[in-house]
Amino acid sequence: MRIWSWVQHIFPTYDFSNKDDLLSFIKSVGSLLVKLIKLAVITFSIWMIWRMRNYARFQDKIEVSRAILVIKDLTCLVGNSSKASMKNDMFDFNVLKVFGINTRTGKVLRPLPVRWEFPSPGWVKINTDGAARGYPGFAACESIFRGSTEEFIGAFSAFLDVHTVLVAEFYGVIYALEEAQKLGLTNVWLECDSALVCVRTNVVPWMLRNRLNTCLNYGRKIRFRVTHIFREGNVCADKLANLRFIHRESSHWYNRLPSSL
């Protein structure tokens, strides 16, 4: 029991009263390295308790303090032999410190700011998005038109029946540019959260190529730019797609911003 008390001192938030608790302890959330350490500690503790029982019956007793040192040494050997990395937090650091395992921090991700940027005065920014519930599945596309002071100019959404998400993304671009041409816009900034749509022209579905080329010809006659934005910065267009899944109208132009956005 003193060995389990020692283990619980290292991991105080867990209980080790039965085998189900041991399994949940091993499977609990944590870095790959700490999970490996947990498995090693439990395995070597069970083995050492069995060994201590045999020694007590057939030979001299093993001191608990000595048994704990053996468990720590074996766990240290397992941890240092692994190529797994720790999380960059104090819990993982303290666990590794207890067993004398070398710290191996995971890759530090560089934070990337994602935000919607205002267009220049006189420009209209159009954010487009396409969505499909399945591959293929029921699909919808949408676009939101906003000015340089973030004023809402209008929004368009359409239910597309059954398509892939790539087709839906391209439909979003096509409908957006067709509406921009109807409105007579001459300074257009198109923004989309699909990198394929923004930079790859060789993936355009065949049934949309002529229609998209017509839209791009319009873009060549005006001041026109295309940029990619991560999905986190394209939330409004993404939410507008969900509205179209609910109502499933063929298409709809919003003169006012929907209350759900």
Query: Domain map of the chain by residue range?
Result: 2-99, 124-254
In tens digits, what is the pLDDT along the chain, a chain of 261 residues? 678 788 877 877 666 666 666 677 766 667 888 888 888 888 888 888 888 888 777 777 777 888 888 888 999 998 888 888 887 778 888 888 888 888 877 666 677 778 888 899 999 999 998 888 877 788 888 889 999 888 889 888 888 888 888 888 999 899 999 999 999 999 999 999 888 888 766 788 888 889 989 998 999 999 999 999 888 888 887 777 777 666 666 667 777 777 666
Dist CA 108 CA 40 (whole Å): 27
How many residues are there in the chain? 261
pLDDT at position 32, please? 83
Alpha carbon 156 to chain centroid distance? Answer: 28
pLDDT at position 221, please? 92
pLDDT at position 132, please? 85
Dist CA 1 CA 35 (whole Å): 22
Dist CA 171 CA 165 (whole Å): 10
CB atoms inside a 10 Å sphere around CB 61? 9
pLDDT at position 127, please? 92
pLDDT at position 160, please? 84
Closest CA to 181 of 200, 156, 202, 201: 156
pLDDT at position 39, please? 87
pLDDT at position 251, please? 66
CATH 3.90.170.10 assigned to domain 124-254? The reply is no
Strand order in the sheet with 223-228: 223-228, 187-192, 124-134, 137-146, 152-163, 251-254
pLDDT at position 19, please? 67
